[in-house]
Amino acid sequence: MARVKFTSALKRFFPTLTEMDISATTVKETLQLLEITHPGILGYLTEENGQLRKHVNIFVKGELIRDRVTLNDAVTAKDELIIFQALSGG
């Protein structure tokens, strides 16, 4: 199973969010499975059309995902995903 980690900024909206292992083959499938355990997170991370919101970044194996539209970047059992909420302002 892939290990999914989150930045602390996301915990402000999802207080029970913790690192977890998820069995998925794509980033999209990973996010859909997260929605089961944390209802509302999919809508927070993605637009209504399914693409990643501009203030969210996802890294797989330390590299920024390439497909922000369909989220079909591959995920394997040995991968680590990190989901970032980008912060802005001053």
pLDDT of residue 89: 55
Domains of the chain as residue ranges with CATH: 2-85 (3.10.20.30)
Which has the higher per-residue pLDDT, 58 or 88?
Answer: 58
Q: Which long-range contacts (CB under 8 A, 24 or more apart) does 20-28 make?
A: 23/77, 24/75, 25/74, 25/75, 25/76, 26/71, 26/72, 26/73, 26/74, 26/75, 27/58, 27/60, 27/65, 27/67, 27/71, 27/72, 27/73, 27/75, 27/81, 28/70, 28/71, 28/72
Average pLDDT over residues 44-66: 96
Average pLDDT over residues 60-67: 97
pTM for the predicted model, two decimal places: 0.91
Half-sphere exposure of 54 (CA within 13 A, CB side): 1
